[in-house]
């Protein structure tokens, strides 16, 4: 299969920006959507609109079946043991908040510690800070090295019987570092701690297997894997989810309600209060099917080629500094250019039709660690090609001349 033939599946790549064909290099923020996903969303609102789980009529039953088929699809996609362990949320942020404020509220005690790495997205820092403050627990920072990798010696020293949770990104959204989470999960379990894997950046780029890595919780977002926005997944071990109290209350998450007492529903409904994002969940299956059709072997081959090609080209630009050069990296490159603010770089590149991300990328502690206010970030997906990289390099050279 020629993977670049798949470019035609993405209508967004056919448009022009400022009179130039678009080069989309902001995939770490959100991926573009293939026509199959767009069609699935349109199908729902055109022919299948109905609330699920409660109706006995055809449209409701059909929607319920598709919703649960997506749950099975996700179970298989991440190799989860059971469908009931797959919880649909609004996104990675919502999933982390659910764990922090449900598991954390039930099990954290004063003096307990939650280990969070310097490279984490704010969504994997702030929820833990909030619950730690409420429970008189402590958030402890895991430092990173100059190359943008976890300082393993420091992590080993930080893990102790006080450690109750380690929350870590599988891949850094800013550095592209691929963290060896399986090894760190083993370290956590040795002291009886749990481990949450933020797979937002890895889910579309590599096979994620919750049983192989032996995780306790895993979270990710649909919109970073070619699916719709507003949908996320929390996977958790059945015994942990059963022990956690509901995070939100309302319809669907109850068995019986009276003014004397309410009893809660079983998994997964216990954590899916209210009418869900039905069209989003049902069309997420189209995204999973699309990824499975291509296969991670082909995806990784294309993205690794782009990563190495772009890295080599960027290093030839005088004054350009790549932030984060871990041995194991995904297709994300953050950089600074001497004498130019990242926002100015982004604006000039946009005029050339090249879309990148600029700013702190919701990783302000990491920016402080590398002593930069912000970076420019180019992130690749399998539908990008070497011509896109060449356009990036050409636009950066023009930005360097202007700035």
| CB burial readout 24-40, b (16+ within 10 A) else e | bbbbbebbbbbeebbeb
User: Phi and psi (nearest 5°) for 166?
Assistant: -120, 125
DSSP for residue 252: T
CA distance 284 to 379: 22
Write out the two tokens for 217: 């919780």
| Annotated catalytic residue, options 50, 362, 372, 393 | 362
Closest CA to 307 of 328, 333, 284: 333
Q: Mark out the alpha helices in 260-378 (DSSP H runs).
A: 278-294, 296-314, 342-351, 364-369
Nearest 5°: phi and psi at 137?
Answer: -95, -175
Q: Which residue in 24, 118, 22 sits closest to 323, CA to CA?
A: 118
Handedness of CA 206, 211, 215, 216 (dihedral sign): positive
Cβ-proximal residues to 172 (8 Å cutoff; 6+ apart), any chain: 119, 148, 179, 201, 324, 332, 363, 366
Tokens of 402: 């202007």
The length of the chain, given as a count of residues: 403
DSSP structural state of residue 216: S
Report the alpha-carbon distance of residue 33 to residue 295 in Å, rounded.
17
Q: What are phi and psi of 340, to 5 degrees?
A: -130, 130
d(CA 358, CA 331): 16
Q: Which phi and psi (to 5°) does residue 3 adopt? A: -65, -30
Please tell me whether residue 115 adopts helix, strand or coil conformation.
strand
Catalytic residue check, 362: yes
SS3 352: coil
Residues with a known catalytic role: 362
């Amino acid at each position: 299969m020629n993977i670049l033939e798949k470019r035609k599946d993405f209508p967004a790549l056919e448009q022009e920006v400022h009179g130039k064909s678009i080069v989309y290099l902001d995939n770490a923020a959100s991926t573009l959507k293939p026509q199959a996903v767009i069609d699935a969303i349109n199908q729902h609102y055109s022919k299948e609109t109905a609330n699920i789980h409660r109706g006995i009529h055809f449209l409701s039953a059909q929607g319920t079946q598709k919703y649960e088929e997506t749950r099975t699809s996700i179970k298989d996609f991440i190799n989860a043991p059971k469908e009931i362990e797959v919880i649909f949320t609004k996104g990675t942020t919502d999933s982390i908040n659910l764990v922090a404020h449900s598991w954390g509220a039930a099990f954290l005690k004063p003096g307990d510690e939650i280990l969070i790495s310097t490279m984490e997205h704010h969504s994997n820092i702030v929820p833990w800070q909030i619950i730690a403050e409420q429970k008189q627990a402590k958030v402890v920072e895991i430092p990173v090295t100059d190359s943008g990798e976890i300082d393993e010696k420091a992590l080993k020293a930080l893990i102790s019987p006080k450690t109750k949770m380690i929350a870590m990104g599988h891949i850094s959204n800013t550095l592209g570092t691929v963290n060896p989470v399986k090894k760190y999960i083993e370290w956590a379990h040795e002291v009886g701690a749990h481990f949450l894997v933020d797979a937002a950046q890895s889910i579309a780029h590599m096979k994620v297997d919750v049983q192989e890595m032996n995780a306790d919780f895993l979270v990710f977002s649909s919109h970073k894997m070619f699916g719709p926005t507003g949908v996320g997944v929390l996977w958790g071990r059945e015994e942990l989810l059963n022990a956690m109290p509901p995070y939100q209350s309302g319809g669907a998450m109850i068995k019986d309600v009276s003014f004397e007492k309410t009893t809660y529903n079983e998994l997964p409904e216990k954590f899916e209060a209210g009418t869900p994002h039905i069209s989003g969940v049902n069309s997420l299956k189209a995204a999973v099917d699309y990824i499975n059709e291509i296969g991670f072997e082909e995806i990784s081959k294309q993205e690794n080629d782009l990563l190495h090609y772009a890295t080599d080209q960027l290093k030839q630009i005088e004054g350009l500094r790549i932030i984060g050069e871990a041995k194991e990296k995904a297709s994300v490159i953050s950089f600074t250019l001497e004498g130019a603010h990242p926002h100015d770089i982004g604006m000039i590149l946009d005029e050339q039709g090249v879309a990148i991300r600029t700013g702190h990328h919701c990783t302000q502690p990491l920016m402080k660690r590398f002593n930069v206010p912000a970076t420019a970030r180019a992130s690749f997906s399998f539908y990008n090609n070497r011509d896109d990289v060449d356009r990036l390099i050409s636009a950066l050279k023009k930005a360097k001349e202007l700035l």
